[in-house]
Amino acid sequence: MLSEQLKEQIKRELPQWLRGDAEFRRFVLELARDEFADKQQTEGRFEAMLAELARDREEQSRRWEAQELKWEAQERKWETNERKWEAQERKWEANERKWEEETRAWRKHEEEVWAEIRSLREENVALDHRIDRTLGALGARWGLQSERAFRNALAGILEGSFGVEVLNINEYDDAGEVFGRPEQVELDVIIKNGLLIICELKSSIDKAAMYSFERKARFYEKRHGRTASRLMVISPMIDPRAQKVAERLGIETYSDSLDVETLDGNAEGVSASRERWEAPPS
């Protein structure tokens, strides 16, 4: 209890003792030296802190300057990339204009080709009409029964060699797709193991008749929703110009039924995907 009272008294009297007694003040300061820094030490520490802050500020300034340089370099890079994108965009626009010009030129060429095909078709139709008249005249002189007998003979050889049935199809083309006007369409077909083979069995065939056969085959495919595995013409008299048409259209040609080696798939030397002549749009 006495110790606490003494502490309280010292707290009350100590400020006055320090102010009034220099020797006592030095004594107290000497005792507290290890706990508190003197003025010189404090000022030294403060100056050191200021120097450290100055160094930090300089370092931070250098960092900011370096960062600004990086930002400027990045901005220049962005500007360069932007110029590249602008140049690329101009190139794309030029290519797009070029593509549009080429597309227009191609469409114009396509229209010209179709116009030529339509003209050829009209010529072929006219040629078919002329051939019809010629055949009519020949039939009157020679007899159409001879052509029918020839066709039956060729069909008989195919049926005997391969055990198939040659079906004579006679359908009415009311839209005039084959001959350019409504007309009966006659052709022969063979169906074996899921294969559809369309045949033309004639004593002779010319260029116009070869085109006509291809159109009849297309008419049959469209009407029945099936694609023929093979188109085949058997005739001992094939006009050289008709032969070229057959090769172009992928039509197999034989001079006799005995020349046909197989009816399974495509014949040797004939492309499996024959080129087809497409009728131009009406």
**Which tokens in the block code for residue 222?**
């469209």
Q: Is the pLDDT of residue 192 over 90?
A: no
Give the residue from 187, 254, 194, 253 showing the smallest Cα distance to 229: 194
Q: Are 124 and 130 in contact (CB under 8 A)?
A: no
Give pTM, 2 decimals: 0.44
**CA quadruple 106, 247, 275, 282: dihedral positive or negative?**
positive
**Which tokens in the block code for residue 17?**
């003792």
Q: Give the Cα-Cα-Cα angle 260, 185, 157 (nearest 5 degrees).
A: 25
- Name the residue ranges covered by the structural domains of the chain: 143-259
Which residue bears the tokens 């094939």? 238
Cα(260)–Cα(253) distance, rounded to whole angstroms?
A: 9
Q: Are 231 and 245 in contact (CB under 8 A)?
A: no
Q: Is the pLDDT of residue 2 over 90?
A: no
Q: What pLDDT, in 10s, does the model give residues 82-119?
A: 888 888 988 888 988 888 888 888 888 888 888 888 88
Cα(164)–Cα(86) distance, rounded to whole angstroms?
A: 71
pLDDT number for residue 269: 37
CATH 3.40.1350.10 fits 143-259, yes or no: yes
Of the listed ranges 43-52, 94-103, 142-151, 227-236, the least confidently predicted one is: 142-151
